[in-house]
């Protein structure tokens, strides 16, 4: 896992190949706005989160975010334990995101 600044994260999702943007917030948080082209798997679902993560392609690069960066750091650590090689945590999370946003 690597902690990426907002700038590093934006550059990575723009230039890397095989990128998956993973939002680990709750549905209510996602409805308030999210980063485009993300998939949402709520880390607070516990085993349900692990079950859904297990279905993902471990060879891709995962850019993971939450509201502040704490839950996404946990998600990256769990994913690394599960065999995912490349995960990037967004420092400051969605609260500090300055890139494009989709509002429901």
**Cβ contact 78:1 at 8 Å:** no
Question: Which position among 35, 66, 75, 79 bears the catalytic label?
Answer: 66
Percent of the chain as helix, strand, coil, to the nearest 5:
40, 20, 40
Nearest by Cα to 22 from 76, 100, 80: 76
Residue 24 CB-density burial (10 A; 0-12 exposed, 13-18 middle, 19+ buried)? buried
Would you call 66 a catalytic residue per the annotation?
Answer: yes
Known catalytic residues are: 66
């Amino acid at each position: 896992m690597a902690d990426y600044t907002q700038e590093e994260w934006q550059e990575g999702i723009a230039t890397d190949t095989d990128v998956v943007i993973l939002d680990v917030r709750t549905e209510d948080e996602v409805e308030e706005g999210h980063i485009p082209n993300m998939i949402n798997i709520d880390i607070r679902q516990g085993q349900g989160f692990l079950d859904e993560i297990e279905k993902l392609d471990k060879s891709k690069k995962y850019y993971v975010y939450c509201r502040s960066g704490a839950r996404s750091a946990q998600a990256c650590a769990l994913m690394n334990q599960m065999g995912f090689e490349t995960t990037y945590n967004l420092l400051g999370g969605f609260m500090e995101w300055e890139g494009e946003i989709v509002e429901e």
